[in-house]
């Protein structure tokens, strides 16, 4: 497998490149940034253009590259769908067997995608947290199985969204970025990226980070509203936005800190608002996103945004 400078790896000075230089890549990243036809200064970052249809590929290329370097033959991942599909695809490319643990209510399209890559699908009773516990048990019984998912290596890959946004805006930092929050990995990664860009004098400021959760699964929004950095996990949450259905966010504290340090905020939207926004996004902008994208679109439509605003559409609508 040859070293490739394509995809997110062209930002290798900011990434943990495996010592051998061997990476598992499908030229992920370099997704489009397009301006809204309805609202001035609103730009959509089309993360569903990635190889498996979601932004998760940015983290999977890093995780699986390190799994390959470290000689792992098997990996395991807890997922509500998108991350499992992504890990499965990159593992297949690397010749590594993947086991994906999912809550029982993951959409059929996402399960089919995971199985298509040859991964073993394990359905777990309960929510994402229960699936996560299952992966820990598997790793405890067999340390030769690498844990993949919302861990530091994934966050490193997701930082590249921030680098691309600044590049696509010709060096300008947007005023705010609207981000769906599930486990909080993405919004934490964006904050880390902008801090690194300030340290290396690539930019002079950090944008406001606006986090969005579904009202039916909004532990961080509740904490934000109550002006506390402590959040109360939600047991067995249920929302149509499965990609952000994480009642006990792994990086919850870090996400709250990222929002606070950028003078941002965390908002939540109802199931009805997401349903309307999904159709609105498709019919007015020609963009078909899963419900995590509909959540951020609902926030775009419900508020007046001043300055350059980036909206992250993280997964394709065909996945649901």
pLDDT at 3: 46
Please write the tens of the pLDDT for every residue from 232-277: 999 999 999 999 999 999 999 999 999 999 999 999 999 999 999 9
Residues 135 and 281 in one domain: no
> Would you give the distance in Å from CA 315 to the centre of its chain?
9
Per the rule left: phi > 0, alpha: psi between -120 and 50, beta: everything else, 47 is alpha
pLDDT at 144: 96
Question: Does the residue 1 lie in any domain?
Answer: no
* Mean predicted lDDT score pLDDT of the chain: 95
| Percentage of residues in the chain having pLDDT higher than 90 | 94
* Residue 171: Cβ-neighbour burial (10 angstroms; 0-12, 13-18, 19+): exposed
| Structural domain boundaries enclosing 115 | 57-151
Residues 50 and 104 in one domain: no
Residues 172 and 277 in one domain: yes
pLDDT of 94 over the 80 cut = yes
What stretch of H or E contains 188?
A: helix 185-199
CA–CA gap between residue 103 and residue 83 (Å, rounded): 13
CA–CA gap between residue 318 and residue 272 (Å, rounded): 19
42-46 and 33-35: which strand pairing?
Answer: antiparallel
pLDDT at 104: 85
Residues 107 and 147 in one domain: yes
The residue among 82, 116, 151 that closes a domain is 151
CA–CA gap between residue 137 and residue 141 (Å, rounded): 6
**CATH (domain of 277):** 3.40.50.1100
Residues 20 and 104 in one domain: no
Residues 309 and 254 in one domain: yes
* Residue 226: Cβ-neighbour burial (10 angstroms; 0-12, 13-18, 19+): exposed
**Model pTM score:** 0.95
Quick one: average pLDDT of 36-64?
A: 97
The residue among 131, 151, 171 that closes a domain is 151
pLDDT at 5: 59
User: Domain count of the chain?
Assistant: 2
pLDDT at 21: 76
Residues 229 and 115 in one domain: no
Please write the tens of the pLDDT for every residue from 128-149: 999 999 999 999 999 999 999 9
Please write the tens of the pLDDT for every residue from 190-237: 999 999 999 999 999 999 999 999 999 999 999 999 999 999 999 999
């Amino acid at each position: 497998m040859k070293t490739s400078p394509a995809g997110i790896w062209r930002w290798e000075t900011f990434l943990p490149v495996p010592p051998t230089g061997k990476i598992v890549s499908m030229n992920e990243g370099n997704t489009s940034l397009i301006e809204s036809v309805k609202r001035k200064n609103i730009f959509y970052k089309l993360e569903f253009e990635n190889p498996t249809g979601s932004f998760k590929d940015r983290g999977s290329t890093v995780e699986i590259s390190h799994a390959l370097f470290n000689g792992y033959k098997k990996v395991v991942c807890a997922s509500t769908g998108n991350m499992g599909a992504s890990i499965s695809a990159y593992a297949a490319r690397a010749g590594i067997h993947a086991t994906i643990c999912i809550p029982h209510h993951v959409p059929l399209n996402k399960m089919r995608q995971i199985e298509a890559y040859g991964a073993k699908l394990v359905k777990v009773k309960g929510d994402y947290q229960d699936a996560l516990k299952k992966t820990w048990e598997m790793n405890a019984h067999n340390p030769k199985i690498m844990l993949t998912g919302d861990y530091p290596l994934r966050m490193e890959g997701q930082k590249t969204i921030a680098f691309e946004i600044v590049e696509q805006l010709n060096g300008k930092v947007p005023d705010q970025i609207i981000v769906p929050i599930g486990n909080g990995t993405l919004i934490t990664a964006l904050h880390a990226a902008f801090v690194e860009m300030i340290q290396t004098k690539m930019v002079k400021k950090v944008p406001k980070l606006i986090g969005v959760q579904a009202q039916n699964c909004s532990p961080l929004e509740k904490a934000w509203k109550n002006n506390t950095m402590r959040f109360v996990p939600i047991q067995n949450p249920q929302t149509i936005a499965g990609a952000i259905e994480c009642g006990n966010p792994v990086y919850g504290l870090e996400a709250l800190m990222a929002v606070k340090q950028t003078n941002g905020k965390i908002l939540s939207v109802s199931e009805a608002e997401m349903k309307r926004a999904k159709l609105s996004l498709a019919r007015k902008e020609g963009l078909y996103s899963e419900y995590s994208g509909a959540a951020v679109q609902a926030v775009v439509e419900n508020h007046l945004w001043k300055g350059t605003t980036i909206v992250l559409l993280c997964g394709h609508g065909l996945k649901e």
